[in-house]
Each structure stands twice: as C-alpha cells, then as structure tokens.
Homo-oligomer: A and B are copies of this chain.
Amino acid sequence: MIDKASPIPIYYQLQEHMRQMIDTGVWKPGEPVPSERDLSEQHEISRMTIRQAMTNLVNEGLLTRVKGRGTFVAEPKIEQPLMKLTGFSEDMRRRGIEPGSNLLQFDIVEASADASKHLEIEPGTDIYRISRLRLGDGAPMAHELSYLRKEGLRLTEEELQGSLYEAVETQLGMKMAGARQTIEPSFATEEEASLLTIEAGAPVLLLERVSRLESGAPIEYVKSIYRGDRYKFIADLER
C-alpha cells in the first residue's frame, strides 16, 4: 500500500491513501480515524511523518483534530466551498444552445510583455497562441485568445477539439490546480466588433483567466471578449 522505496514522499502516499478512504466512504464523517501512534506502528512510519500527512488533510478541512480524544473525519464542508463557474460549452448546452468553435489562429509566437507577465516567463520565450471564435447555434458569442507555455507541450490541432486541460495534464504528467479569473465590462473595439458581428462600442465582457498547475506555475493565460447582448455569466455560489 505504501512504498518506502518510491520516489513519491511517504507522507504524500499516506495522505492520498487517507483521502481515498474518506472520499470512498470507508471512513465516514464523525468517525475517528486510527490514532497517530497506531498508524505509525501499522505502517512502520515515524509518527512525525504521519503527522505531516494528517496535518495537510486537517488544513484542507477533511480531518478534525481534538486534543486528548483523537482525529476525526470532518463533516462535509458547508463553510469553505469551491465555486463552480460553468465552462462555455456546458453553459451553452444548459440553455439549449448548441456550442461551436472556429479556430482562427494556432501558432507559436514570442511572448509579449502582457503574456509573459501572467505566465511568469521571460518576454520573448516561445509560447502557443490559440485564437478561437466561440459560437452559439452558429452565431458568434465570444472571442477567445489563449496563450500556453510551450515547454514540455506538443499540441496539435486535433487536441484543440478535445479537452485542452486533459492534453496538458497527460503530456506534463501534472494536474491543473485551479485558476483565477477576472471579469469586467468594456466596449468592443473595431476588430472585436467585426469578429462578433456587433457594432463597435457595444457593451462586452472582458474576461481574463490564469490557470495554474499543482506546482503553482501558470500554464495558461486566456483573454476573452464576450458579447454583452447575448451572453450572461452564471455562477452558482456555495457557502
């Protein structure tokens, strides 16, 4: 179950093992998990290492420690949730609109000052540039300009059709950790207006997103323009 010879840290193996026990319901909310000393003896791992694994899960809110009593599986969170912002395709389908995509550009360019700042790389470094027109029932809904770090990636046009994130995770052997996204109102420029078949100066939503890997390194920087007259951002918030 836990391989001490593995290059993967022991504490991490144990941590993920415990996470699985919780996720799969083998360990149920409110129930105590084995004590640190028990786990230490069972797995022949130092207690400090056990603690390192458990501390991470406590910080994530999956476990609760009570001095003198033990460590327990936390009740499912209501407090510190994650919010979901629906992706374009999913969002369109939810409204009964058929999503589509037109690839305008797909090439390798030198990173501009803007892109290099967000991707935290040196300006001039080679990066992927992907320019796409997003469609709803055939009509232009948004223009999306993505920049991806090139290192370690070998993208083809085919992969742009499928899930870009999956391709990245497979090729880099690392998972995406999350993203930060900002939304602000703006006016359509001449160029944007012609792409979206709207009038220049029409209200649009400017969306910027930086996605990061587990390592913390930014991998993707996206700048999108959404038609204000046709598109509404919907966010389901939990608490």
Contacts and interface: CB of A to CB of B under 8 A. Distances in A.
Interface of A: 48, 59, 78-79, 81-85, 175-187, 203-205, 228, 231-239
Contacts of A182: 79, 232-235
Identical copies of this chain, number: 2
Contact of A181 (B186, B231, B237): B237
B235 A83 contact: yes
A203 B237 CA distance: 25
A178 B237 contact: yes
Contacts of A203: 185-187, 203
Nearest to A230: B184
12 contacts: A79-B180, A83-B235, A83-B236, A178-B236, A178-B239, A179-B236, A182-B233, A182-B234, A183-B183, A184-B231, A203-B203, A235-B235
B180 A236 contact: yes
Contacts of A183: 183, 205, 232-235
A182 B236 CA distance: 9
A233 B82 CA distance: 14
